[in-house]
Structure 1
Amino acid sequence: GHPKNCLPSLSPWKKMAEAAALDAIYAASNALLDAQSKLKAGEDTFAEHEEQFKVVVSKAKVSPKTKTLALQVLPKYLGHYPAQADSALDILIDLFEEGEGYRMKAIESFKSIASSASASVISKLVGVLAQLLLSEDEKEVAVVNQALCTALQQDVQATTTALLELMTAEASVRGKAVEFLTAELVPRAPALFKDNTEAQNAVATQIKKLLGTATTAEVSVYLKILFALQVFQSGEEGANELLGIVINSIDLAADFDASEANADRFLTLLRSARLIFNHGASPMKVMSYVSKKVLPKFDELSPTQQTTLLKVLAEISPIMRGHTCRDFLTAIYPIMLALLPEEVTEETKLNYTSIECVLYAFHQTASRVPGFLHPLCGIKISTGQPENKIDEDHTAKLADLHKRLAVANKQSTEFVKKLQQVRTKLNETKAEGEEAKKDLATKKEACTASLLTCNHVSALATNLKPTPPKFMADNTAQTLSWRMNNKQTGGPKAGQKRGREGEGQQQGGGRGGRGGGRGGGR
């Protein structure tokens, strides 16, 4: 046996095998190095040395020394031998899995390969690297991220399409791929894809296929990538093409599925559509679907989803026209009434953000369909539209609307007074320490946001009561409170990253309490 605490050395025949393998790898390495020198001088002789590259692959796992040497040689020259990519990558993966001593070296070798590899090699490499993102070792994940970023720089088309192909893999890998695309590709996409029409079209084609079955997070990152591509930035034409992709993902012919996951996905698509409308695409098809299929199922959405939907619709409302407005008004009016309580009790909970959104959207769209409110206001004008029946008595409906508007105005005005008292106290408060200062700043921002919302609700409600109503639309419209709050607090501007729509909703009750849902009093 061996002396105690001494590791056994290699047997004589293993030593001989190791020596022969090392000699073979060194000889192959010298030949490849010579080819590299000739390439610098303008002569490419790598094709003549493919057998030498195969030698390194075949001898790599003979002993620890050959493994270490192979980790140095293979990454340098793999880019010249795409046909050997599978076997070479298999060896590197095997070495990665053999133990701690090889793991980081193998990952570093992947990064080295990515810097000079062909498209076919990068496609295979990305599949390997994506699996390594699941590692629990933060240092390993950091180097894997660097390797993927290197691959993006080397060939953005091959890397991005390979990452998108992983969206049919198991959920854990998909999740890591989405995280990488969001954090690393999206910010770099405009520069990486610039003037590369082939890459842009290839990625767009792949995303079109994936959108139909994508999760909410995946939809979000796909659309961010599409927004970054020049092919969709050619004014109205590009906007319409991009909108076509979104519309196909929504499936306007199908009924709206109000389940939580599907509703979240739809809201992501609708938010993206809103951005596209700002570039000249028509909202008619999408808004027809919203009015006829989504809003009738408003009650089936969660309170947060309801507020999110109303916020997006409020932002779309300034660009609605014609029949789009009429269909929307018919669908939104009962929702508006439900959000505006007839009376206030101890249990009443008002969602001021939702009320602001629905009143804002109503002002914008009703200003373009005068006949919609004329009958309610007792104005006898025959417009020929179905909502305008000249001999119908709308006295009770008008009284009900005015009563609800008066309650909303009174409640928001009272809540403003309470908020002003809160703001005074907050301004008098002195915070000690960083955490306390952050907490105080957060409370001040929340108070300011609530004040903006409630003041806007009061103005919107008050201006609907005269005969005829004073519509706050187009040039006379105020800025929506959460947009105004962003400006005042130095928050994100249009196009910048901001919190999830629906968060930060201002709510209050009869006694300034908090609550959700569609308002109270029912």
Structure 2
Amino acid sequence: MASVDRLYALYNVIADAKDKAGEHDKEFAEILTGVKGGTGERRLTSQFIARFFQYFPPHQEQALNALLDLCEDDEMAIRKQAIKDLPTICRGHTELVPKVADILAQLLQMEDQAELAVVQSSLVSILKTDAKGTLTGLFYQIEHSEDELVRERCIRFLHTKVRSLGSQVFSADVENLILTEAKKVLQAASSEDEFTLVMGILRELKTCQTVKGYQQLVDLVAEQVDLTRTLEPSDLESVHRLTSCFKQALPYFSSQVRSTLFVEYMWREVVPALDHLEAAVPDGPSNASLILDLLKIIAELVPHAGNLEDIGGKVVAIFDKLLEVMPLPPEGDAATEALEGGVSLEFSRVECLLFTFHQLAKHNPEFLAEDADRLKDFRIRLQYFARVSQAYQKRLREALTNKTGEELKTEENKIKLIALKTTANINILIKDLFHQPPSYKASIALSWKPASAAGKAMTNGAEKRHTPITFDSNIQKSQKGERQIYAPPRDKYSQRAGQYSGGNFRGRGRGRGRGFAYGSNRGGGIFRSGFRGRRGNFRPY
């Protein structure tokens, strides 16, 4: 076992030999014994292995194993040194990159942030040396590791680096490799986080930022959901999985990438099951907005659908759901008392359902136009809802007037801004439906989707007021002095509106997430049973 002084002497012999360094086989073999020495010896051994690795092919396997021992050392400084040195041995030896990437991927389990940063830096280094080889090692861990933390951190690392390194590292061939491997990961993913992160990686690829790429991403989601499978409403885990998958597809639908199959699935499996889901969903943060999430998804899917089957049946189904949340007004004095005292109305659901109905009914205008009784009943409900909505809007405007930009960023005011947008959207759609015959020309931006100037109009309290809607077909503008001001309704406006819940699947693992057993190494180290297959022959990639 070489001492520090002996290691320096051996280093000088090999370094002085220059081009003939490979002739000093015995000296390099003696350097390798330093891995069993003290702190100084071990650190020098790591540095000298990296320095002379290329000159001694017969000792490369032994040298790599020595570095692996040092990567599991009890001393953090030595571990960090060995991790830094791993990429050096890959220069000129790209055949080692998949193996080294596999090792570094396992080291992403580090809890110390400084040490974790060294691992990530080394991964970036070998990515720049050989991107395909590095990805082979990373995806091996993503697909086969039993450690959830390793899988998650590998995916997060890729997600970050695909975005930051761009075409500098990720060429078209490399992106195709990522797409191929990511498809395998998605097929096995049983965690919402894993699925979302992998889709996030694909979203960053230039290959996927085209109409053809968008269609590929939509197809991947369709495969994950399996649009031929029957949905079991009592299986809430499956329903949560469905919502998570559909959300990943929503950004890619357009006039060129149609949502037709997704819409058909929602009407076949989800819309008929909404009442059952309403009863089955228990109280809790991950389930509270499940129904609203589904209604939002439906609203976003419908505008991009192509030719739908049985459009009349779909209009009837969504109209019936809409009537459930748009009640008839109370009669007589009770109507005034209800408005002045506040009423409970579900504005968020009404926005989703009314928008969906508006989008579908324009393809079946006779549904309202040719049924006078239905239209009359519907307009009574619309008028009542509009009056309550306008009263609520007034109170929201008063609460937001003269707020500064910083004040509008508070969670409470963000909710009020979304609520204001929700009620404004509802009134726009109602006004359109009050035309004779009902019109379907109005266009709105759904309240939960990001808007660049969400709160600017309210800074000076100058938002445009909507004309009150009355049942009389000859709508007259009311004078300000004649408008009755109602107390704000105690609505059921969801505080989660405007954003989908990030509910998890029940358990992130794939049924194999037991992780590595905590094993002992020299002196009782911190690592989980070491690296798989790190001894002997390299794992074939």
**Is the shorter-chain TM-score for this pair beyond 0.5, marking a shared fold?**
yes
Q: Cα deviations across residues 171-204 of structure 1 (Å, max 9, x unaligned)? A: 222232233233x22423642565432x222221
Gaps of 5+ in 1: 1-13, 39-44, 379-394, 432-436, 491-508
Q: Are 1:179 and 2:165 counterparts?
A: no
The number of residue pairs the alignment matches comes to: 443
Q: Secondary structure at the match of 1:323?
A: coil
Q: Secondary structure at the match of 1:450?
A: helix
Match in the other structure for 1:511: 489
Q: Cα deviations across residues 61-95 of structure 1 (Å, max 9, x unaligned)? A: 24544322211122345578899766444322322
Q: Are 1:34 and 2:10 counterparts?
A: no
Q: How far off its partner does 1:455 sit?
A: 1.3
TM-score, scaled relative to structure 2: 0.70
Among 294, 299, 303, the residue aligned to 1:318? 303
* Partner Cα distance (1:88, 1:368) in 2: 72
Match in the other structure for 1:8: none
* Partner Cα distance (1:410, 1:261) in 2: 39
User: Structure 1 residues 210, 338: closer, same or farther in 2, change over 3 A?
Assistant: farther
Q: Are 1:336 and 2:322 counterparts?
A: yes
* Partner Cα distance (1:439, 1:447) in 2: 9
Return the letter of the residue paired with 2:440.
F
* Partner Cα distance (1:245, 1:81) in 2: 47
Among 246, 253, 263, the residue aligned to 1:270? 246
User: Structure 1 residues 409, 138: closer, same or farther in 2, change over 3 A?
Assistant: same
Q: How far off its partner does 1:413 sit?
A: 1.0
Q: Are 1:456 and 2:421 counterparts?
A: no
* Partner Cα distance (2:495, 2:274) in 1: 11
User: Structure 1 residues 445, 98: closer, same or farther in 2, change over 3 A?
Assistant: closer
Match in the other structure for 1:477: 443
Q: Are 1:358 and 2:347 counterparts?
A: no
Match in the other structure for 1:239: 214
* Partner Cα distance (1:189, 1:248) in 2: 30
* Deviating more after overlay: 410-419 vs 338-347: 338-347
- The RMSD of aligned alpha carbons is 3.9
* Partner Cα distance (2:268, 2:57) in 1: 55
Q: Are 1:154 and 2:129 counterparts?
A: yes
* Partner Cα distance (2:435, 2:315) in 1: 19
* Partner Cα distance (2:61, 2:164) in 1: 29
User: Structure 1 residues 77, 401: closer, same or farther in 2, change over 3 A?
Assistant: farther
User: Structure 1 residues 401, 132: closer, same or farther in 2, change over 3 A?
Assistant: same
Q: How far off its partner does 1:477 sit?
A: 0.9
* Partner Cα distance (2:226, 2:54) in 1: 44
Q: How far off its partner does 1:415 sit?
A: 0.5
Among 41, 47, 66, the residue aligned to 1:66? 41
Q: Secondary structure at the match of 2:345?
A: strand
Q: How far off its partner does 1:510 sit?
A: 7.0
Q: Is the 8 A contact 2:183 2:220 kept in 1?
A: yes
* Partner Cα distance (2:81, 2:439) in 1: 71
User: Structure 1 residues 122, 418: closer, same or farther in 2, change over 3 A?
Assistant: same
User: Structure 1 residues 192, 442: closer, same or farther in 2, change over 3 A?
Assistant: same
Return the letter of the residue paired with 1:243.
V
Q: Cα deviations across residues 376-398 of structure 1 (Å, max 9, x unaligned)? A: x34xxxxxxxxxxxxxxxx3x44
* Partner Cα distance (1:245, 1:80) in 2: 47
* Partner Cα distance (1:53, 1:343) in 2: 91
Return the letter of the residue paired with 2:357.
F
Among 275, 284, 288, the residue aligned to 2:264? 288
Q: Secondary structure at the match of 1:354?
A: helix
Return the letter of the residue paired with 1:481.
S
User: Structure 1 residues 348, 118: closer, same or farther in 2, change over 3 A?
Assistant: farther
Match in the other structure for 1:304: 289
Q: Secondary structure at the match of 1:97?
A: coil
* Partner Cα distance (1:206, 1:400) in 2: 56
User: Structure 1 residues 156, 264: closer, same or farther in 2, change over 3 A?
Assistant: farther
* Partner Cα distance (1:26, 1:92) in 2: 17
* Partner Cα distance (2:226, 2:219) in 1: 11
Q: Secondary structure at the match of 1:314?
A: helix
Return the letter of the residue paired with 1:151.
I
Return the letter of the residue paired with 2:452.
N
Q: Is the 8 A contact 1:166 1:174 kept in 2?
A: yes
Match in the other structure for 1:386: none
Match in the other structure for 1:388: none
* Partner Cα distance (2:382, 2:219) in 1: 39
Q: Secondary structure at the match of 2:256?
A: coil
Q: Is the 8 A contact 1:208 1:245 kept in 2?
A: yes
* Partner Cα distance (2:419, 2:258) in 1: 33
Q: How far off its partner does 1:265 sit?
A: 3.4
1:247-266 alignment, distance < 5 Å: 247-257=222-232, 259-266=235-242
Q: Is the 8 A contact 1:82 1:118 kept in 2?
A: no
Q: Secondary structure at the match of 1:481?
A: coil
* Partner Cα distance (1:56, 1:421) in 2: 78
Q: Is the 8 A contact 1:193 1:229 kept in 2?
A: no
Return the letter of the residue paired with 1:207.
A
Q: Is the 8 A contact 1:110 1:125 kept in 2?
A: yes
Q: How far off its partner does 1:419 sit?
A: 0.9
User: Structure 1 residues 329, 209: closer, same or farther in 2, change over 3 A?
Assistant: farther
Match in the other structure for 1:222: 198
Q: How far off its partner does 1:222 sit?
A: 1.5
Structure in which a larger fraction of residues adopt helix = 1
Q: Are 1:123 and 2:98 counterparts?
A: yes
Q: Is the 8 A contact 1:207 1:222 kept in 2?
A: yes
Return the letter of the residue paired with 1:413.
Q
Q: Are 1:413 and 2:408 counterparts?
A: no
Q: Secondary structure at the match of 2:320?
A: helix
Q: Are 1:487 and 2:482 counterparts?
A: no
* Partner Cα distance (2:261, 2:293) in 1: 20
Match in the other structure for 1:202: 177
* Partner Cα distance (2:258, 2:60) in 1: 48
Q: How far off its partner does 1:458 sit?
A: 1.6
* Partner Cα distance (1:231, 1:125) in 2: 27
Q: Secondary structure at the match of 1:98?
A: coil
Q: How far off its partner does 1:367 sit?
A: 0.8
Q: Cα deviations across residues 326-363 of structure 1 (Å, max 9, x unaligned)? A: 26535433332333234587896434233222212221
* Partner Cα distance (2:58, 2:264) in 1: 53
Among 361, 369, 377, the residue aligned to 2:364? 369
Return the letter of the residue paired with 1:422.
A
Q: How far off its partner does 1:317 sit?
A: 2.5
Return the letter of the residue paired with 1:148.
L
Return the letter of the residue paired with 2:269.
K
Return the letter of the residue paired with 1:418.
R
Q: Is the 8 A contact 2:218 2:252 kept in 1?
A: yes
User: Structure 1 residues 452, 234: closer, same or farther in 2, change over 3 A?
Assistant: closer
Q: Secondary structure at the match of 1:322?
A: coil
Q: Is the 8 A contact 2:32 2:49 kept in 1?
A: yes
